[in-house]
């Protein structure tokens, strides 16, 4: 089958989840396990944390720079999250998608809503922990957050779960490997949806004379 038959625009895949659902781990594993998937590196005004690297995890920018980018309409979407601003660069995203790269957006629900209206071919995935109790255990286990922060995150999680009804796919992250399999299946199916049927027909009939 000719390569042309598979030439396609990349899949814009939005992944959102309450904090503690395992979203970041799943996103990185998905990128490692499938080719042609790029992580959308957002711009943020929040300070760099721990082992994060500028240009890899985020582009860490000042309030002024962010403001200027907003004024230039450089963002496909942007939002205030936990007191800081985060945004997705429009041009970079469009270039990757046009080059046939799937783009994975690790963004919040406000961003998901904006991407859904900006790109009609976006696939929206919401990742859930199995239940509130498991989420609470994960939040307590992983961080040095104060009791007050944990309570706030749990409340935020409940609101997000209620507000995410417009996401196309919901996936429960109980066992990492199972959740990863489901995420791969989703992305592979979205890729198939986008293969040009016309190009596939042409390639099929061309082979007759080969
Ligand atoms: P963190 O600061 O912990 O890395 O991320 C905080 C939240 O901001 C997470 O829910 C993350 O998904 C979200 N986020 C990261 N980048 C963007 C972005 O470009 N746009 C939006 N709307 N949310 C983002």
Q: What is the mean pLDDT of residues 11-16?
A: 98
Contact 125, 13 (CB under 8 A): yes
Contact 57, 96 (CB under 8 A): no
88 lines ligand 1 (CB under 6 A): yes
Query: With 60 as the cut, is the pLDDT of residue 112 above it?
Result: yes
87 lines ligand 1 (CB under 6 A): yes
Strand 169-172 vs strand 123-128: parallel, antiparallel, or unpaired?
parallel
69 lines ligand 1 (CB under 6 A): no
Q: What is the mean pLDDT of residues 10-16?
A: 97
Query: With 80 as the cut, is the pLDDT of residue 145 above it?
Result: no
pLDDT digits (tens, 9 = 90+) for 27-83: 999 999 998 999 999 999 999 989 999 999 999 999 999 999 999 999 999 999 988
pLDDT digits (tens, 9 = 90+) for 18-28: 988 889 999 99
Give the pLDDT score at 17. 95
Indicate the top mutation candidate among 88, 106, 122, 163 to test ligand 1's pocket, ranked by most ligand atoms within 8 A of CB: 106
Q: What is the mean pLDDT of residues 168-177?
A: 95
State what percent of residues in the chain have pLDDT above 90.
Answer: 72
Query: With 70 as the cut, is the pLDDT of residue 1 above it?
Result: no
DSSP state string for 34-67:
SSSEEE--EEESSPP-TT--BTTTEEE--HHHHH
Ligand 1, residue 17: give the atom nearest the CA: 10
What is the CA(27)–ligand 1 centre distance, in A?
13
What is the CA(193)–ligand 1 centre distance, in A?
28
Q: Where are the domains of the chain?
A: 8-195
Look up tokens 């000042």; give the residue. Answer: 62
Ligand 1, residue 106: give the atom nearest the CA: 12
List Cβ<8 Å contacts ≥24 apart for 66-75: 69/43, 75/43
DSSP state string for 179-191:
HHHHHHHHHHHHH
Element holding 154 (H helix, E strand):
helix 147-163
| All residues at 6 or more sequence positions from 167 whose CB lies less than 8 Å from its CB, including other chains | 14, 16, 112, 124, 125, 126
The pLDDT confidence band at residue 130, using thresholds 50, 70 and 90, is very high
| All residues at 6 or more sequence positions from 129 whose CB lies less than 8 Å from its CB, including other chains | 18, 20, 21, 22, 135, 138, 157, 172, 173
Dist. CA 129–CA 200, nearest whole Å: 39
102 lines ligand 1 (CB under 6 A): no
Ligand 1, residue 24: give the atom nearest the CA: 12
Look up tokens 């038959």; give the residue. Answer: 5
Q: Which fold has domain 8-195?
A: Rossmann fold (3.40.50)
Dist. CA 76–CA 104, nearest whole Å: 14
pTM exceeds cut of 0.75: yes
107 lines ligand 1 (CB under 6 A): yes
The per-residue pLDDT of the chain, averaged, comes to 91
Distance of CA 4 to the CA centre of its chain: 27
């Amino acid at each position: 089958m000719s390569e042309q038959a598979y030439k396609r625009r990349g899949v814009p895949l939005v992944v959102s989840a309450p904090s503690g659902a395992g979203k970041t781990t799943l996103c990185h594993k998905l990128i490692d396990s499938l080719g042609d998937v790029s992580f959308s590196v957002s711009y943020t005004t929040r300070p760099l944390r721990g082992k994060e690297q500028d240009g890899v995890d985020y582009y860490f920018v000042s309030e002024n720079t962010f403001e200027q980018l907003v004024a230039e309409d450089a963002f496909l979407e942007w939002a205030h999250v936990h007191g800081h601003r985060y945004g997705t660069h429009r041009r970079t995203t469009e270039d990757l998608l046009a080059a046939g790269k799937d783009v994975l957006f690790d963004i919040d629900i406000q961003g998901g809503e904006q991407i859904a209206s900006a790109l009609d071919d976006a696939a929206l995935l919401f990742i859930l922990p199995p239940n509130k109790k498991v989420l609470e255990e994960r939040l307590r286990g992983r961080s040095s957050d104060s009791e007050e922060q944990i309570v706030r995150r749990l409340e935020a999680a409940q609101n997000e779960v209620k507000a995410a009804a417009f996401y196309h796919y919901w996936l429960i992250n109980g066992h990492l490997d199972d959740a990863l399999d489901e995420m791969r299946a989703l992305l592979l199916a979205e890729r198939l949806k986008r293969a040009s049927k016309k190009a596939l027909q042409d390639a099929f009939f061309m082979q007759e004379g080969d």
